[in-house]
Amino acid sequence: MSSKVDIDLYEVLEISSSASKEEIRKAYRKAALANHPDKVPEAEREAAEVRFKAVQEAYDILYDEDKRHLYDTHGMSAFNGSGEPGMGPGGPDLDDILAQMFGGMGGMPGGMGGMPGGPQARKPRRSPNEEQKYEVSLEDLYKGKTVKFSSTKNVICSLCRGKGGKERATAKKCATCDGHGVKQILRPMGQFLSPTMVTCSTCKGQGEFFSDKDKCKKCKGHKTTEAKKLLEIYIPRGAREGDKIILEGEADEVPGQEPGDIIFHLVEEEHPVFKRAGPDLTAEIDVTLAEALTGFSRVVIKHLDGRGIELKHPKVPGQVLSPNQVLKVPGEGMPIKRGDARGDLYLIVNIKFPDETWKPTPAVLEQLREMLPKPDAPIPVTTVDEVEYDPKGNIEDFGAHDPEGGSAWEDDDEEGETAQCTTQ
């Protein structure tokens, strides 16, 4: 059954491909009688049934002039899966295979409107979309951007208009695959040989081809040629990661199909200063200790469009900034697509305390102590120990050297009996 794909209807009826209608009818009667399941011994019945169905099918197609022409030009792929009699269940659905392998271009041009429920109804009429990622900086997403680039794509050959051959030439059916564009081979799957469909290498899946002298001079029979095209995409301001930019009909052209789209999926590049959450932005700003205490009026950050964002602090004299304090700037977030609204900007204050390079005199320190708020009342205790300490301790070491914790873990592992200690 699995060899149905390579079936030769003329062979089934044992006639030549130029047989007349009368010859076909006679051959059918003879073959049908010889293979009728009721006329063979029990043991041969199953095989006879298969042959009988094949004969019936061959006759149904070859005796009908339209169907015979279809078969001669396109092979069995024009009939499989169409509800035509005789193909029997369980065989591979060639139509599906062709659709998978070639996106529906397996030598199946139109012109079969007369076949109800024919396979062409399921053929995709567009060439496949081309999807690709497009990385965009946060600056470009903020401002919007037009990108021009040249793209090389396949276009229908302008000389033969996608035929692949010279004007008067006719394509020949590929004998290797009998016009199907695919062949069945036995491929090892584990210890078994499994029938697998592969693209016919002779016709490259087309099912037919022009002889060298008949090939179109321009596309050399490929039906398409490569062309450079200048394309332009517009990334609207406020666009986000995952947004799609679609260039309609700019995918590779395939003869007999509408061209698909090129689809760009936007990917937002990580930004060194700003982080984005939807319409809002956040960034850290550095403020010196003196500024945090006494105030400032200056540009604290360069925005995504290059503008300086100036803050005056404090609004009321005497207000100080604390570490990680959040300053919300309304309307300075990302633009929102379609419209003038914008998200908000959240500035997180990082206070830069003086480092070792600051060398205040004892007099200055004394002055500072006098000016700044006094410490709280002493902590009431009865015993006091003065201790040594490391001024450069590392919080990563916190809990990292627990001798008991470590050994307990190892013990559990070695004994492998933790399961009984269900409360652990």
Considering the complex, state which of residue 9 and residue 24 has its C-beta at the smaller distance from Zn ion: 9
How many C-beta neighbours within 10 Å does residue 391 have?
4
Considering the complex, state which of residue 176 and residue 350 has its C-beta at the smaller distance from Zn ion: 176
Asked if 174 interacts with Zn ion (CB under 5 A), we say: yes
- ∠ CA 154-157-158 to the nearest 5 degrees? 125
In angstroms, give the least distance from the CB of 105 to Zn ion: 14
Asked if 177 interacts with Zn ion (CB under 5 A), we say: yes
The interface mask with Zn ion, positions 201-220, x = CB under 5 A, is: -xx------------x-xx-
CB 206 within 8 A of CB 108: no
- ∠ CA 334-337-343 to the nearest 5 degrees? 30
CB 246 within 8 A of CB 231: no
The interface mask with Zn ion, positions 136-165, x = CB under 5 A, is: ---------------------x-xx-----
In angstroms, give the least distance from the CB of 48 to Zn ion: 31
Residues 419 and 205: their CA atoms lie apart, in Å, by 61
Range 381-387, long-range pairs (CB < 8 A, 24+ positions):
none
In angstroms, give the least distance from the CB of 139 to Zn ion: 45
Asked if 199 interacts with Zn ion (CB under 5 A), we say: no
Considering the complex, state which of residue 166 and residue 240 has its C-beta at the smaller distance from Zn ion: 166
Asked if 176 interacts with Zn ion (CB under 5 A), we say: yes
The interface mask with Zn ion, positions 217-246, x = CB under 5 A, is: -xx---------------------------
Considering the complex, state which of residue 201 and residue 407 has its C-beta at the smaller distance from Zn ion: 201
Q: Which of these segments, 43-51, 121-129, 173-181, 298-306, binds Zn ion (CB under 5 A)?
A: 173-181
Asked if 171 interacts with Zn ion (CB under 5 A), we say: no
CB 104 within 8 A of CB 231: no
Residues 221 and 165: their CA atoms lie apart, in Å, by 6
In angstroms, give the least distance from the CB of 43 to Zn ion: 37
Could you say which DSSP state residue 127 is in? P
Parallel, antiparallel or unpaired: strands 345-352 and 280-288: parallel
Asked if 9 interacts with Zn ion (CB under 5 A), we say: no
Parallel, antiparallel or unpaired: strands 326-329 and 308-313: unpaired
- ∠ CA 261-263-266 to the nearest 5 degrees? 170
Binding site for Zn ion (CB under 5 A): 157, 159-160, 174, 176-177, 200, 202-203, 216, 218-219
